[in-house]
Amino acid sequence: MHDGHHAVLAGLGAWLPPRVVDNDDLAQHLNTSDEWIRARTGIGERRIADPDVSTVDMAIAAGRNALRSAGSDAIDAVVLATATPDYLCPASAPQVASGLGLSGVAAFDVNAVCSGFIYALATAAGMIAGGVAGRVLVVGADAFSRYCDPADRTTVPIFGDGAGAVVLRAGTADEPGALGPFDLHSEGENAGLLIVPAGGAKQRQSADPHDHYLTMQGTAVFRHACARMAESARAVLERSGLGVGDVDRFVGHQANIRILQATAKQLGMPNDRVVANIERVGNTSAASIPLALADACDDGDLQPGHRVLLTAFGAGLTWGSTLLTWPDVKPGGEA
């Protein structure tokens, strides 16, 4: 990309629903326990959105914090990564833009499920590279608790709700915050490994209520996730002429602590460089990476100058990675 048309991270925001649901709460109505959930997932608690709080509401809250962090409301486009939009039609991004006082800007959704934030970053970076937009708000927001069968102990303990956002601006490839390269992939042959079968055009309704909930083949997903994230992470390092030893922080999609640790092990990445907040928030799908970045910033684990490797894997199947040197950016909080 030529000078002035490279995507640079300039703002960061997060928002989590206030309601905390811990493992003991779940054990009251599921055949499970705190020990069982922690041993298999590394999750101790998650945040669950109240019924009157939607994906759009969470995205607006995180977006507002990202704009505050960036110090400017000047935005040309809003890209929302979500697999749980408020409606099948229309997309949720225009409502997010409107709710932030950005009515009139380009706004659309990207659905790559848990890889959505990386895909949305790449999309926004492409818009900046092409001169379509100078400043883009990228939001990852999901409310997957709404798509978990309340009686399913394989999905209910895993998923939490939340939103995270970043502001990207046009800049140069050699400044802190510059994103790239990107590595993106998909494998639709395995769509059935993580799927909500009913509700779309293929099967609008189903007599079986389970078809309206997320189903997951956990063992196969685990295997694919570790292999694909490690492959993708290696690919961006290779394209950058860097090695694992050059990475200060590894921020993977927070799906499961065992997946994160197994991926890091495949890469030869020491555990002390692995950013993990899954114990407190669970799997927040497209919100996972920006929420992890915001947490690591808040607790001082992520510092300006750190070289950060981002990687994600999700339903689709989809996966992808990118790199950046962390800029002097702090998450925007409530005023």
Q: Which is the catalytic residue, given 6, 224, 226, 253?
A: 253
15 bridge partner residues? 163
Catalytic annotation present for 306: no
Amino acid at 183: D
Active-site hit among 114, 224, 226, 297: 114
Q: Given CA atoms 112, 251, 243, 227 in this order, what sign does their dihedral have?
A: negative
Catalytic residue among 23, 111, 256, 283: 283
Say which residue the tokens 């070289």 belong to: 307
Check if the beta carbon of residue 232 is closer than 8 Å to that of residue 263: no
Largest pairwise CA distance in the chain: 57
User: 86 with 51: CB under 8 angstroms?
Assistant: no
Which tokens go with 124? 């926004």
Q: For residue 2, indicate whether it is catalytic.
A: no
d(CA 57, CA 54): 5
User: Rounded distance, CA 26 to CA 52, Å?
Assistant: 21
Residue type, 288: S
Per the CB < 8 A criterion, the answer to whether 286 and 313 are in contact is no
- Our answer to whether residue 277 is catalytic in this structure is no
In the chain, the amino acid numbered 242 is L
Mind telling me the catalytic residues?
Answer: 114, 253, 283
